[in-house]
Amino acid sequence: MGAGLGVLYPEGSSKGGSYTFPGGLSVAALKVAGKIPEAGADRLVTGATVYRVAQDGTGVNVSYLAGGEPVTIRAKAAIVAAPKFIAKYIVSDLPEDQREAMKAMHYVPFLVGAVAVDGNITSGFATARTIKAPIANFRDASTMPDKQLLRCEMPMRASVRTQLEHDAFVESYAQQVADYFESIFPGSRSKIAEIRIWRRGHNWYIPIPRMMTEYQPRASRPLDRVFFANADSLGTISEFGWALVAADRAVEMAKRKVAADVGQVAVG
């Protein structure tokens, strides 16, 4: 599902494989969530918002709102699998240097578009990076020879985040995408059947100086019994594969911590 998984499980990576999921990888997240109840009842709380994670001696208190009522549970360890712009507010007693590293990370909104073409407008390459265009890149995700599907990624400036809430803005951006394809592949506009765009508000972290060497490692540093996951905890880009790698790492660290409490050796 991405570069991160190829690093963690090289035997499972495929060369030249390209997959597109309707609605994005939320489908994969739902499949993962669906496995949790299989391990036992009452292991998953939905419709709740965590607002505080605080260490307390040999445990961690996790406070959340469920049905408008505050609830606090106690755990031996906690994994905060949330973007750092959320983690910095809900995790108590963060060291100042770690909180500053979280604050230094920048996030931008972005759009993901699917350009459905009746026929073909490109050939000879699977992925293209763009410069001075309304899209950052596009890739051929077609599954039929006579109809083409181009997946486009469109990172935006943080200043337009609120504009993404308005359909008119997104529709106008789709027109820019169509104009762009017409400019580089003349005649393509008449072949475009539709452009579907999914909106993501803020969770694409962007590369800035010292991001991978300083801010990301410091921001994701374990805090005794609190461990950090999410795609921004590890790797080079904000994508599903790196999120799973970061989650696996956090789980292993939490298992070792809990095992050490009872004098056991953690088994991988």
Domains, the chain, in order of start with CATH, read 3-103+206-261 (3.50.50.60), 107-205 (3.90.660.20)
User: pLDDT tens digits, residue range 48-105?
Assistant: 999 999 999 899 999 999 999 999 999 999 999 999 999 999 999 999 999 999 999 9
Number of Cβ within a 10 Å radius of residue 170: 17
With beta carbons less than 8 A apart as the criterion, state whether 151 and 138 touch: yes
- Provide mean pLDDT across the span 150-163: 90
- Arithmetic mean of pLDDT, 125-142: 87
Look at 23-27, 187-191, 219-223 and tell me which has the smallest mean pLDDT.
23-27
Residue 174 has pLDDT above 80, yes or no: yes
Model confidence pLDDT, tens digit, residues 200-212: 766 788 888 999 9
Percent of the chain topping pLDDT 70:
88
In this prediction the pTM is 0.80
List, in sequence order, every residue forming a beta bridge with 196; answer none if it has no partner.
114
- What mean pLDDT do residues 206-229 have? 94
Torsion angles phi and psi, residue 191, rounded to 5: -95, -15
Contact 153, 181 (CB under 8 A): no
Write out the two tokens for 105. Answer: 């990370």
pLDDT, averaged across the chain: 87
Give the pLDDT confidence score for residue 202 in this predicted structure: 62
- Mean pLDDT over 219-248 rounds to 90
Of the listed ranges 9-23, 72-86, 249-263, the one predicted with least confidence: 9-23
What's the rounded mean pLDDT across residues 172-184?
94
Query: Percent of the chain scored above 90 by pLDDT?
Result: 53
| Lowest-pLDDT choice from 7-11, 63-67, 108-112 | 7-11
